[in-house]
Each structure stands twice: as C-alpha cells, then as structure tokens.
C-alpha cells in the first residue's frame, strides 16, 4: 500500500551521507582462494549489460567485456559465502542506508581479461522495464569484492564512481565495496593479467 500523501512545501532534506563504503575483508585468504578456484573451474558465459537499456551488438561488445557465471545458495560448496554476506548486508543496511530490501538469490563471478581489454563502461546497476508492470523489484544495494590481488595478479581494472567527477575507489583483495545501485560506476580496462571479482545485487520493492 502506498504511503504517498501528496506534495508539500514543508519538508526537511536528508542527504545520503555515504555514497559507498569499503569494508575490511570478511573472508580469510584461504576462503578467498577457495572461492576463486572453485568459480574459475566452472564454465563461463559472456557478460552482458542488464540495465534494460538496449545497445547495438557492436556497442555491447565495447561496453562490457567480461566472462561471468552465476552461483546460488543451494550449492553446498558456497553456502558459507551466502551466510557471511547475509550478515554483512544486514549490518550495512540497518546502520547506514535503511533501504526496504528483500535479499538476493545468487552472486556473479566475473573475469576481466587483459587479452581482451576486459572492462565495463559507465553504468548503474538499476534495472528498468517498459512499464510499472515490469518492475516487481529493483536492485537497491550493490556489492563488489576482488578475489585476486591488484598489481600482482592483474593491472588496470580500477573501480571508479562518478559524483561530479571521476573518483577512483582503491580496492585490495577481499575488501568489500557496497554502494546504492543508483551510483554510476565502471571497471576500467584491465591491461595485464585477469581481474577476478564477486558481485551481488540486493533487491527490494521499487524505490518510493
């Protein structure tokens, strides 16, 4: 049921004080290696943009260059990943964002290979539909975690956001980056090696 009461001119503005946050690793080095080795051993498919904004086939090839796979909580080898991230999201949302969220049912494993100039150009993680009937839920919180070490396993592939200007968000292996899904961001081209990451989108009812 909607709580919309109509437009008023007597409001107090509230700011989103933390457009993103980087948390210390929640997984041990051994756990990160286990996740990485398991995910990279399984078949991958070509990653495509999923914001609902159409690109030509040629533009899509330049817009996002990565290989991905999707992993669900019913995989016993990955159950510990979901359990740990559930606690992380509960903490972050209740203490910083207070979004109306439901959850997530999978994470995405992604590889960005320098041999193909792997990258993902500027985008938001929100999904869009043709009409309100298409919007059953939307992405509210986005998470990205590097599984390997920048400067050692790969070069380039910087994570950037855009708030009036380009901002580099330095990440170390295992650090957890969380941000509202409407924040514009990109992964710059990888210039050496393979960048491996894990991504989750927490969804909830449409923003209101």
pLDDT band at 48; cut points 50, 70, 90: confident
What digits encode the pLDDT tens for the residues 61-110?
Answer: 678 999 999 999 999 999 999 999 999 999 999 999 999 999 999 999 99
Whether CATH 2.60.120.620 fits 21-204: yes
| pLDDT tens by residue, 121-156 | 999 998 776 655 555 688 999 999 999 999 999 999
In whole angstroms, give the CA distance from residue 32 to residue 29: 5
Residue 149's CB is within 10 A of a number of other CB atoms, namely 14
Q: What is residue 2's predicted lDDT score, i.e. its pLDDT?
A: 58
According to the model, what pLDDT value does residue 47 have? Answer: 87
7 compared with 197, residue with greater pLDDT: 197
**pLDDT per residue as tens digits for the range 4-29:** 667 777 666 566 678 999 999 999 99
Q: Give strand ranges (E) for the chain.
A: 21-23, 45-46, 64-65, 67-72, 106-113, 119-123, 138-146, 154-156, 159-162, 166-168, 176-180, 185-187, 190-204
> 16: how many CB neighbours lie within 10 A of its CB?
10
Question: What distance in Å separates the CA atoms of residue 42 and residue 170, rounded to the nearest whole number?
Answer: 28
Tokens of 179: 């941000």
Q: What pLDDT is attached to residue 188? A: 97
Q: What is the pTM of this model?
A: 0.88
Return the pLDDT at 159.
98
pLDDT at 24: 96
Give the model's pLDDT for residue 11: 65
Length of the chain: 208
- Between strands 67-72 and 106-113, the pairing is antiparallel
Q: 170 has which bridge partners?
A: none
CA distances from 118 to 18, 79, 138, 160 (A): 29, 29, 27, 15
Q: What is the dihedral of CA 133, 134, 135, 136, to 10 degrees?
A: 80
How many whole angstroms separate alpha carbon 44 and alpha carbon 80? 22
């Amino acid at each position: 049921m909607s709580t919309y009461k109509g437009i008023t001119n007597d409001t107090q503005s509230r700011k989103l004080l933390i457009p993103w946050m980087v948390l210390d690793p929640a997984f041990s080095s051994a756990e990160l290696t286990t996740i990485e080795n398991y995910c990279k051993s399984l078949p991958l498919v070509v990653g495509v943009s999923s914001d609902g904004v159409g690109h030509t086939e040629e533009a899509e090839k330049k817009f996002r260059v990565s290989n991905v796979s999707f992993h669900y909580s019913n995989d016993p080898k990955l159950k510990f990943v979901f359990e740990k991230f559930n606690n992380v999201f509960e903490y972050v949302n209740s203490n910083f964002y207070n979004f109306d969220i439901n959850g997530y049912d999978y994470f995405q494993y992604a590889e960005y290979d320098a041999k193909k100039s792997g990258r993902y150009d500027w985008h938001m993680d929100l999904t869009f539909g043709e009409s309100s009937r298409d919007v059953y839920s939307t992405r509210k919180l986005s998470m990205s975690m590097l599984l390997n070490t920048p400067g050692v396993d790969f070069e380039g592939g910087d994570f950037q956001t855009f708030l009036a200007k380009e901002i580099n968000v330095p990440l170390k292996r295992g650090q957890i980056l969380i941000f509202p899904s409407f924040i514009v961001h990109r992964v710059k081209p990888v210039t050496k090696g393979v960048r491996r990451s894990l991504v989750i989108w927490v969804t909830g009812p449409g923003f209101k």
